[in-house]
Amino acid sequence: MGDYLRNCTERFDLVFSSFALHHLTTEEKGEVFRQVSRSLRPGGVFLLVDVVRHEDESHDAHLQAACDWMRKEWHDFSPEEMATICDHVTGNDLPETVITLARRATAAGLSAPEPVNQYRWLHILAFGKTPGRDAQLSLSYRLSTISTTIRRTMYHSTRSAWRWFTRSR
Ligand SMILES: C[S@@+](CC[C@H](N)C(=O)[O-])C[C@H]1O[C@@H](n2cnc3c(N)ncnc32)[C@H](O)[C@@H]1O
């Protein structure tokens, strides 16, 4: 997404990212926030659905806890499949805390995130492009003005991953 936006001259009211940012290093996440900020119109919103570490949780403790939770709660996988899933998580996931995401976002010209929803480590966060003509309006209001079509697209693209992650609820 960062590469796409870097070469993109179009400006957007909404940028949406789902379960991908946590694969990037902290520096790379900062670059994504910079490109998102540059690409949003004043008053625009960056909606992020992603894995986020608890503030008091180290990276290693998070990976351990996430794998423990999956092993305990996800009953549809064989031990071999679960080993593959945990290998993928421990080898590829670099989730940040909300505070780190907020620091990187504000350094890039976005607002600190407003929580939209959360289940365990899975967060939906809204970052606003500021300052802008709508900066005085809350992010939830700005989100509520996003067209039904776009919201439906976001819902469908997130639903399968969200259901998969929360299937044990
Ligand atoms: C868990 S999938 C999420 C797919 C989809 N966005 C969704 O929500 O269903 C993670 C995505 O991150 C992408 N990804 C992983 N590492 C990446 C990287 N270093 N740069 C860009 N994309 C990456 C993968 O290609 C994959 O599409």
pLDDT digits (tens, 9 = 90+) for 6-51: 888 999 988 999 899 999 999 999 999 999 999 999 888 899 999 9
Mutate-to-test residue for ligand 1 from 1, 15, 23, highest number of ligand atoms within 8 A of CB: 23
CB 31 within 8 A of CB 103: no
CA of 161 to the centre of ligand 1 (A): 12
pTM more than 0.75? yes
Query: 169: pLDDT confidence band, cut at 50, 70 and 90?
Result: very low
CB 13 within 8 A of CB 45: yes
pLDDT exceeds cutoff 80 at 134:
no
Query: What pLDDT shows up at residue 153?
Result: 61
Kindly give the interhelix angle for 59-73 and 79-92, rounded to the nearest 10 degrees: 160
Verify whether ligand 1 is closer than 6 Å to residue 18 (CB atom).
yes
Query: What pLDDT shows up at residue 133?
Result: 47
Q: List, for residues 67-95, the tens digit of each pLDDT value.
A: 999 899 888 889 999 999 999 999 999 99
Verify whether ligand 1 is closer than 6 Å to residue 159 (CB atom).
no
CB 107 within 8 A of CB 77: no
Residues of the domain holding 54 = 2-165
Paired with 51 in beta bridges are 122
CA of 114 to the centre of ligand 1 (A): 23
pLDDT exceeds cutoff 50 at 168:
no
Q: For the chain, what is the domain count? A: 1
* CATH number of the domain enclosing 65: 3.40.50.150
Percent of the chain with pLDDT over 70: 77
Residue 16 DSSP symbol: E
- What residue type is assigned to position 141 of the chain? Y
Taking the CA of residue 18 as reference, the ligand 1 atom at the shortest distance is: 8
Query: What pLDDT shows up at residue 138?
Result: 61
Verify whether ligand 1 is closer than 6 Å to residue 161 (CB atom).
yes
Instruction: Report which protein residue has its CA nearest ligand 1's atom 19.
Output: 24
Q: Which two tokens stand for residue 92?
A: 């590829």
